[in-house]
Every structure is written in C-alpha cells, then in structure tokens.
Amino acid sequence: MIRIVCILQVMLLLNAELVLAQYKRETKPWWPTREEILARYEKAKWLDSAAKTAVYYQSVQPVWEENGTGFWFKRTHPDSTVEFLKVDPTKRNRFKAFDHQRLADSLSFVAAKRLTADRLPITVTTVNRTANKIEFSYDQKRWQADLGTYSIEAISLNERFGRRNSNGTGWTRRSHWMSFGTDALSPDKKWKAVVVNNNIQIQSENGEIKKQLTTDGTDTATYGSVAWSPDSRYFIFYRIVPYKDSVIHYIKKAVAGTSRGQHYAIPYKQPGDPFTTYEMMVYRLGEERPKKIQTPIMDFFSAPYLHFSKKSPGKFLFERVDRGHQRFRILEADSETGLARTIYDEQSSTFIYESRIFTDYNLDKEELILSSEKDGWRHLYLLDISSGKIKNPITSGNWIVREIDSIDYKKRQIWFRASGIQPGEDPYYVHHCRIGMDGKNLVVLNPERGHHQVSYSPDGNYFLDTYSEVNKAPVITLRSPVNGKHIMTVEQPDTSRLLQLKLPAPMPFTAKARDGITDIWGVVCWPTDLDSGKQYPVIENIYAGPQDAFVPKSFLPYSEMQSLAALGFVVVQIDGMGTANRSKAFHDVCWKNLADAGFPDRINWIRSLAQSYPWVDTNRVGLYGTSAGGQNALGGLLFHPGFYKAAVSACGCHDNRVDKQWWNEQWMGYPLGKHYEEQSNITNAGKLKGELLLIVGDEDSNVPPESTYRVADALIKQGKHFEMLTIPGMGHSDGGPYGRIRKRDFFVRSLLHLLPPQRN
C-alpha cells in the first residue's frame, strides 16, 4: 500500500502543479527546433524500453485448483527469476507451490535440456489437488507432473486427468444460433437422422434404412441441420436454400521462391447480401411424413438453438432476430400440431444489440432470464414461459448489467457485472454484484472505487478481485462472494521504477456532451517535460465503433499514447455518444449515423480540456485510428475540417457498404438506404481539408483493402493531395511497428512543421 500511496501522491502533486501554473503566465504555441524534436525522439525511444519493466506484480493470473479451494499463480521478479506460488484461502497465506528444484531436475531429464529452478519456463494450466498432479506447457508440448514423486511425462490432449481450468466465471454462454451436422444420433442411440444426397433418411443404429423422409432435396434446396428431442420421439430439421457468399480477392505480392503474385480469394458477406434460408420442419417417429412448423422461413443467421420443454416434450423454444436488428422474439413450437406461438416479442425504433442479448432457460420451472434495454438501460428480467409475461424485473436503475457470471437456480441468485451502479464515479467502471431472482437483496461485492476484474473459484467460495484506475496501481485481494468480505491481500504492485521515470500520469477528464447534460469521459496523456507557458498540439486516438467503449479504465503505466505524448503532444482518448456501455439513448446516437462518430461530443471535450488547461492548443488538432477508427479519423477531416487538421487513417471501413455485413447492418440498418452513400468517406472525399496519411495492409481480411483503395481513388479524382502507405502481406492492423513510426513522423511534420529523423 505504501507504493500505491506514493504513486498517487506524485500524480496529485504533478497535476496540482500543472493547474497552478496556468495562472502564473500566459501561454503561447510551442514550436520546437529540430534539435529539440530529435532529442524528444530519443527520450521517447528510451521510455519505450524503460517502461516495459517499470511495474512488477501488477497482475495475478490464477489457476484454480480442481478439487481444492486455492489457486496458483506465477510471479516474475525484476531480475527475471520466477516462482510459482499457491494461495490458501483457509490459512490466508501464500507459499511456494512445489519444490522448484525437483521439478527443474525432472523436467531437465525428460526434456534433455538443462533448466534452473528459478527460471522455469513453464505455464501451469491445471492443478488437481486430490491427485496431487499438475499439467503445464513447455516447449510447445503438454506435460503432466506428479508432485509426490516429481515424475514427469508428456501427454496428449485425450490423456488429460481433468478438465481445462476455466476462467472462474462459472458460466458458459450458449450461442443463440447453432447449425447441426449431417448425421444425428438420437439420445437413446437407437436411431439416426442422416442426410443422404440432400435428403433425410431414418436409419437404425446399424445403418439400415427405416424410412425415407424427403425425396425432393437438391444441391440448391437441401435438407439438413438435424436436432433430436431429449426423449428421442421427435427431431427437427430444415429445408435449406444455401447462399454462397461472393468473394474478395487478394494477391500475395512477396511470396518467397516465386516470381509472380499468388492469387487467393475468401468468402465475404457485405451489407445487403442474402443469407442461407431455413424452413423449419418436424418429424415424429412412426408418423407417415414430416410437417412444417408454421413460422416464417428464417432468412437471417443460421438454424437456432432449440430448448425442449420438460413438461411437454413435443414443444420447444427458439429465438429469432429479424434482419435489421429491430425485432427479437422467443417462440414456442408444438411438434404435434406444427403450430408456433410468440412467447416474447421486443421491437425497437432504432436497434436491438443482437450479440448482447442474454437468455437462459430454466425449463424445470418453465421460466427464463433475459436481458433487455426496453426501459432505457440494459437489465435482466424473469419471464414466465407459459404465459409469456414478465414475472418481475431482476435488476433496475440508471445503470447497466454488463455480463452474467453465474446463475444458481437452487438459491435463486445471480452473480453479474454492472457499470454505473456506484454513484459519483466513472460510469464505465465494472463492479461485481449478486441479486435474488425476485429483484431483491442486491449486493455490490466490490464497491471500492475503480475498475474491477474478477476470477471466481470453481466451487464458488472465493473470488480474486483486481481493481485499479487508469492512474492508480491495482489492488489485488481475495474475497468472499457471499458478502464481498476481504479475506487476504494476494499481491502488492511495485511501482518504484515507474516513479523514477518521472512520467506524467494519464489523467481522466470529463466534459459535457452536445446536450449540455451528459458527461463524456476520456483520458489525457500529457507531454513529458511540459512547460505550462506553452501550448501543445492535440492528437486524438479515436475509435467510435458502437460495439463497445474504448477509453482505458484499468491502470495504464505506459502506452503508445504516452510514447506519442513524449514527442510534445497532448494525446487524448474519448468515448463520445454513440458508443456502448451507457444508456440506450446514449448508444442510439449511432443508429444509421456512423459518420457522426460522437464528433460533437469529442470536440466539446477537447475545447473544455483547453479551458481547464491553457497549454492545450485547439488550433492544432490531429487524430488517428484503425478499422472503424480509420473511418472516423478520415471522417474528422471530411466532416469537421474547421477543428481537425491532420489524420492517420489505418485500414478504415470508409464505406459501410464495402465492409462486413454483420457489423454494419447492426448499426446502419437494413435494407440499405441513401444514408449509406451519404455518410461514405468515398462519396465525401472531395471535402478533404488538412493533411492525411492512409495506411492499409494489402491482405486485410477484416475490412477489405479495396475500402482504402477506393477512397484513395476518389481523392485522386478530386485532385486531393495525401500520403498512402501500403504494407505487403499485412492483415488488419494499424501498420505494425513500421506504420507506427510513420504515424508519429507524419504528426511531427503536419502539426509541428518539422522534419522527423532521417531514417535512411
């Protein structure tokens, strides 16, 4: 705790000095000499190296014991020696997990390579307390060690003594969508539903054909995706009309041993492309023919996961999201009648975030838990399946449920993660909670201010809690999931080397959004050797993808942003409106509106920062980003040229019609409308003002490279000047180490008007 207090004191003193300095002298723009900028390059290079080993003991990666209560973790010391420690919650202490010398001697013998006890290069993956054995990886192989005899043997995956250690959440989320194979064995193992020549046959266990169910299947309209009911009386299958996605093409241009480019292509679904369709059918053993389930043909995603009723085995539930992401339903089908009824129907005038829909089925009680943002915040509800009515909200309030960690139907309790639940702090911080399914007895298990990351023990009796803030070192403790009670401190970070670097700490900052009410949160990295009498250019690290929020919340001792700041820039990162993890209204700003990218909020935020800290120069503002951030970076120059003056755009999805289907239709909607074209960076290329560097990997399979090439083509046709860096063989990336060097050199030229180091 002493180390933590020290770093906080230094940070507070530094920020206090900066605040006081603004009143002492008038600021003026900083225009360094070339000698000054070359010295800063050297300082940044030194910091990049020194900061790698500036903090020790800041994280614990637990390997929980199987058939035990404690966990193991690997501890690396400043001299690069390592030790493996065991934490015993019952004794509230930690100690060496095994005899390091004996294990080193045994492993040296079987691996035919001398290893030392204090530098064991192994990764422990499984600990079985009852068997007193461990599994670990070394030299790209898996090994098993008996800690009684210290005998070691190499093992294959099917020889393992136990299950792979989980992440401790106690919860595994099933996908909503599940396609099945072509050869499905019934649960009682008496029958097989087999796809032969695009048609369905029923075969006995020895392969004898008992019934030919369909005969009209073809390559263009086949049958398949079979799922049996648990009682083996029914099975569901589909008449499938497959759609083969079009491809995007690549040329490998630098293949060793060849003198020609090598062509390859990959399937790639873009917005508006059709999907394979599924028509649901059911067959009951002994009946003459199958029947259709009376529900519209599914033309979005694949065959759904089926949840068979325990009270009425012929009935089953399935989920459906309509294309366009504005309607989500849970339906119940009856195998006897072929009829289907809607259990739950949620519709939105904007979007429903499909990949964050949570459902869990308690079929013994004919109920299910589901998430919804229908009241403006993401919360959990308990639904009665038979009536289709909400029994009760489980969570409520002006905060959101982020994830579900565990569900205990016997105790009627849920463990989950929440953001915004603790008043007076950053609303993105995650806290871990427990609540009754009746919505009562809410307990915040780790209420301490900060962003919390947790690992639960497999038996649910303990959890490891690591919490920190961007400028505050982690606290790592073991706690009780019953009431959050502190059991013991597991680790204490050593930040002494970080303090010696005299780096300004990253600083959280808030300002009002465009509505003048909502708080916008971001972080600032100040230049090293900051002179408060001078004004420094601003560079925004931007990513406005609506799928999440992106400003770091955990301890950030050093980052690329701080390295860039060392050159003499104020580097910021902001979560504007339209990003996730806040209210539904906050998120809805992105709907059919990706070009907005929260820019009004970001610009207000940077201007507010300058009002509080006069050494922030809002006349020299640049931005950089990758992927959606690449789209945003160029968008800043196109749509807000009065504020942003320079941008580095890496592998941007510059036109949402060219990028992947699932991401773009989620936010831009379906069917495609004029707004797709109107918001395209390609369509708006003629508006370019300021300086631009485009970066693209020519083998990007995430965002097709033609997205960047097409915007380059449009810029050329408009007579615009820009720089472009194509990296052969690179996939979806910011340009890698070379691209990052080119990025910082670009900003030195464009915002400081200086030549970077001569690198040739």
User: Would you say 99 and 152 are in contact if contact means Cβ atoms under 8 Å apart?
Assistant: no
Say how far apart CA 470 and CA 504 lie, in whole Å: 12
Q: What is the 3-class SS of 25-78, one letter each residue? A: CCCEECCCCHHHHHHHHHHHHHHHHHHHHCCECCCCCCEEEECCCCEEEEEECC
Residue 615 pLDDT:
97
Give the alpha-carbon dihedral of 98, 100, 106, 111, to 10 degrees. Answer: 120
**Which residues does the chain have with pLDDT short of 70?**
1-25, 157-182
User: What is the predicted pLDDT for the residue at 180?
Assistant: 54
Location of each CATH 2.130.10.10 domain in the chain = 174-241+275-349
> What pLDDT was estimated at residue 524?
98
∠ CA(232), CA(238), CA(239), 5° rounding? 145
Q: Which of 385, 381, 383 is nearest to 395 (CA)?
A: 381
Query: Where are the extended beta strands (E) located within 420-517?
Result: 430-436, 443-444, 451-456, 463-469, 472-479, 486-491, 507-512
The confidence score (pLDDT) of residue 26 equals 81
CATH architecture of 29-54+498-752: 3-Layer(aba) Sandwich (3.40)
pLDDT at 149: 97
Query: Is the distance from CB of 370 to CB of 344 less than 8 angstroms?
Result: yes
The answer to whether the CB of 178 falls within 8 A of the CB of 303 is yes
Spatial separation of the C-alpha atoms in residues 31 and 121, rounded to whole Å: 49
- Looking at domain 174-241+275-349, its CATH superfamily turns out to be YVTN repeat-like/Quinoprotein amine dehydrogenase (2.130.10.10)
Tokens of 28: 């003026």
Task: Give the C-alpha separation, 698 to 531, whole Å.
Answer: 42
pLDDT at 9: 42
Residue intervals of the chain classified under CATH 3.40.50.1820 are: 29-54+498-752
Please give the angle made by the CA atoms of 110, 111 and 117, to the nearest 5 degrees: 90
pLDDT at 25: 54
pLDDT value for 705: 98
The model carries a pTM of 0.93
Give 493-519 as a DSSP string.
Answer: -B-HHHHHHTPPPPEEEEEE-TTSSSE
